[in-house]
């Protein structure tokens, strides 16, 4: 019997070479030391895959094979110049950079990036075809910072935007909603779909985290797209409570107003309480809660059609437990494995909604009225 949940992983995702820098390449001149494991080292994603495998959950999911995204798939959302520069630099002996100088990839890295975009496409195709009810594409490198003309923030091609455009233009899906719960702003989809009303882009992120100054609540799209970019910037320090409130008060009402035929989730686990690249406090049960919000909305609005595409998440310790909880929820299959860090992180806070968090969410909630 096939599971209701499809799953994409490819061993090459674990080979993405992010070099020996941290947020920037090492530099003797700047006295920026090389480090054994880059903050976006692919082992974090591989560890999530291996927890899924060793937990027994993998056998209860429907495997979906990633294929290389084709040139036309990339060019639906990226400039040709960006695409060709990645291919050119990928042939260099030590590889190249996605576009911002802090997103290195190794020789041949274009192939892994195309396989990540292709993994998002394969998961989308399977869900739209009804082969599975929902799917998790555990792809790497991530994509949500990649804009039309350049890569950024460890992202080469915008996997979730590639999947959204594939759904619209190849599969004939009417309306696609992107829900981005990565802790950093979903600037790539914002850039790509800024003037469009057929793709709703909701990003819930730490206010002014990355990219710098990106994703304020008053960045809302323009022309036909006005209102269909919805940013929900949250004050630093928030945890399960503010995320639950934001999804209940903004994300779900926005999805209801938009009434999508397909929901794509840009899933970063870097809002976690153990993440080094942001200052939020979400635990694995918080991720489970916000996933429940979206899955319930999908059941109500689009026959449960949800494709989750992996984005960031930089705690090699904690990302696996967050991901396992989301996949258990999607599949309805419980492994019995508990979050091993809960005895430590469970009492650290984030469970009570504070006034300034409520106020930030309420500002965004008022903008849902412009979606139809
Ligand atoms: Zn992120």
pLDDT in tens, 200-216: 999 999 999 999 999 99
Q: What is the length of the chain? A: 372
Instruction: Indicate if 145 belongs to the active site.
Output: yes
Domain enclosing residue 148, as ranges: 5-22+32-370
Residue 224 resides in a domain: yes
Please tell me the distance from the alpha carbon of residue 148 to that of residue 354, in angstroms, as a whole number: 37
Please tell me the distance from the alpha carbon of residue 351 to that of residue 110, in angstroms, as a whole number: 42
CATH code, 133: 3.40.800.20
Residue 238 resides in a domain: yes
Tell how strand 134-137 and strand 306-310 pair up: parallel
CA of 277 to the centre of ligand 1 (A): 8
Choose, from 110, 144, 145, 293, the residue flagged as catalytic: 145
Residue 142 resides in a domain: yes
Q: What angle do CA 211, 214, 219 make, to 5 degrees?
A: 160
Q: Which helix (H) or strand (E) holds 217?
A: none
pLDDT at 303: 98
Q: What is the largest CA-CA distance in the chain?
A: 59
- Name which of 209, 206, 293 is nearest 244 in CA terms: 293
CA of 1 to the centre of ligand 1 (A): 35
Residue 27 resides in a domain: no
Mean pLDDT by 10 residues, the chain (372 residues): 88 97 91 94 98 98 98 98 98 97 97 99 98 98 98 98 99 98 98 98 98 98 98 98 99 98 99 98 98 98 98 98 98 98 98 98 98 94
What pTM was computed for the model? 0.98
Residue 197 resides in a domain: yes
Q: 106 exposed, middle or buried (CB, 10 Å; 0-12, 13-18, 19+)?
A: middle
CA of 121 to the centre of ligand 1 (A): 21
CA of 154 to the centre of ligand 1 (A): 9
Structural domain count, the chain? 1
pLDDT, tens only, 300-309: 999 999 999 9
Please tell me the distance from the alpha carbon of residue 42 to that of residue 44, in angstroms, as a whole number: 5
CA of 153 to the centre of ligand 1 (A): 8
pLDDT at 128: 98
């Amino acid at each position: 019997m096939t599971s209701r949940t499809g799953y994409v992983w490819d061993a090459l995702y674990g080979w993405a070479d992010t070099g020996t820098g941290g947020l920037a390449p090492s530099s003797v001149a700047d006295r920026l030391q090389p480090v054994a494991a880059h903050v976006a080292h692919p082992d974090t994603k591989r560890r999530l895959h291996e927890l899924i495998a060793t937990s027994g959950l993998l056998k209860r999911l429907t495997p979906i094979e990633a294929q290389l995204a084709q040139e036309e798939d990339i060019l639906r959302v990226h400039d040709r110049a960006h695409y060709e520069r990645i291919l050119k630099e990928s042939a260099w002996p030590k590889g190249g950079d996605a576009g911002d100088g802090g997103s290195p990839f190794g020789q041949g890295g274009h192939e892994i990036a195309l396989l990540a975009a292709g993994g998002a496409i394969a998961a989308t195709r399977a869900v739209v075809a009804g082969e599975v009810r929902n799917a998790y594409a555990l792809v790497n490198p991530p994509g949500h910072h990649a804009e039309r003309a350049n890569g950024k923030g460890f992202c080469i091609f915008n996997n979730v935007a590639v999947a959204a455009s594939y759904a619209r233009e190849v599969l004939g899906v009417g309306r696609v909603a992107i829900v981005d719960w990565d802790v950093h702003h979903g600037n790539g989809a914002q850039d790509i779909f800024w003037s469009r009303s057929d793709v709703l882009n909701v990003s819930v992120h730490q206010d002014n985290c990355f990219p710098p100054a990106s994703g304020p609540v008053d960045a809302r799209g323009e022309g036909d797209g006005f209102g269909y970019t919805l940013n929900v910037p949250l004050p630093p320090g928030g945890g399960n409570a503010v995320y639950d409130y934001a999804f209940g008060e903004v994300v779900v009402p926005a999805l209801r107003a938009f009434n999508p035929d397909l929901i794509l989730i840009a899933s970063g686990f870097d809002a976690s309480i153990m993440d080094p690249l942001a200052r939020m406090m979400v635990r694995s049960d918080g991720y489970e809660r916000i996933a429940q919000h979206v899955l319930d909305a999908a059941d109500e609005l689009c026959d449960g059609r949800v494709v989750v595409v992996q984005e960031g998440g930089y705690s090699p310790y904690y990302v696996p437990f967050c991901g396992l909880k989301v996949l258990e929820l999607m599949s309805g299959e419980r492994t019995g494995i508990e979050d091993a860090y809960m005895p430590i992180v469970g009492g650290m806070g984030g469970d009570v909604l504070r006034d300034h968090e409520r106020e930030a969410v309420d500002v965004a909630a008022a903008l849902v009225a412009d979606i139809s």
